[in-house]
Amino acid sequence: QSVLTQPPSASGTPGQRVTISCSGSSSNIGTNIVNWYQHLPGTAPKLLIYSNNQRPSGVPDRFSGSKSGTSASLAISGLQSEDEADYYCSAWDDSLNGWLFGGGTKLTVL
Amino acid sequence: QLQLQESGPGLVKPSETLSLTCTVSGGSISSSSYYWAWIRQPPGKGLEWIGSIYYSGSTYYNPSLKSRVTISVDTSKKQFSLKLSSVTAADTAVYYCARRDMVATNTFDYWGQGTLVTVSS
């Protein structure tokens, strides 16, 4: 079981706004930055959000991240069919002294 | 454009050692700005960080795997490698190599496509 907890699934219709949560603890999300990845099976995971809310060049502003306390969220607005993928949160853990990933959330565009 | 490519056997027998290599192209493996990492994903499960290495050879590993993992780097070949000993079926996974940018994003910004390693007799 991942120390960073994500819902296993999420869904929305085209144009909708969906959010994916990531719950951690004081040793990871509570004190360190959160990153988000988009992963299509069979491809390389793609960095979507870094430092809680920063988008790498080329990532549409439909994707946004936030953090509060020991939880973080990824929001996708104007949902598109190509957003259907698995999404993972990640953070450094001071107790583990290593990187943690969430269990992943499979986003379905209905 | 930086590219990472994993290579190695797709099938390993139980109790043997899994060995993979990641070749870096389109960029430097010797930059002081980056760490290089191995991350895996068992079938139907989430991602798990295995360990990371600096170009100087400095390493740090996931404590749950530390006793079985060795990561090394060959800067002349622009490669870094993973060895995981005493494998079991639980080590069956897609193995990814990735770059961690310590300056701009402080996270894994480039990943390989991944390679499936199956542990089976």
| DSSP labels, A35-87 | EEEEE-TTS--EEEEBTTTBPPTT--TTEEEEEETTEEEEEE-S--GGG-EEE
Interface residue of A47, A55, A92 to substitute, partner B, most B CBs within 10 Å: A47
What mean pLDDT do residues A59-71 have?
96
User: What is the band of B99 on the pLDDT scale with cuts at 50, 70, 90?
Assistant: very high
User: What is the band of A3 on the pLDDT scale with cuts at 50, 70, 90?
Assistant: confident
Residue of B nearest to A5 (CA): B46
B88 touches chain A (CB under 8 A): no
Asked if B46 and A101 come within 8 Å (Cβ–Cβ), the reply is: yes
The DSSP H or E segment spanning B49 is strand B48-54
B42 touches chain A (CB under 8 A): no
B60 touches chain A (CB under 8 A): yes
Whose structure tokens read 């000993």? Answer: B85
Strands B69-74 and B79-84, bridge-based pairing: antiparallel
3 state DSSP class of B105 = coil
Tokens found for residue B79: 């490669």
Whose structure tokens read 């085209």? Answer: A14
Instruction: Output the pLDDT for position A103.
Output: 93
**CA angle in degrees (0–180, nearest 5) for B58-B60-B61:** 145
Tens of pLDDT along B24-80? Answer: 999 999 999 999 999 999 998 889 999 999 999 999 999 999 999 999 999 999 999
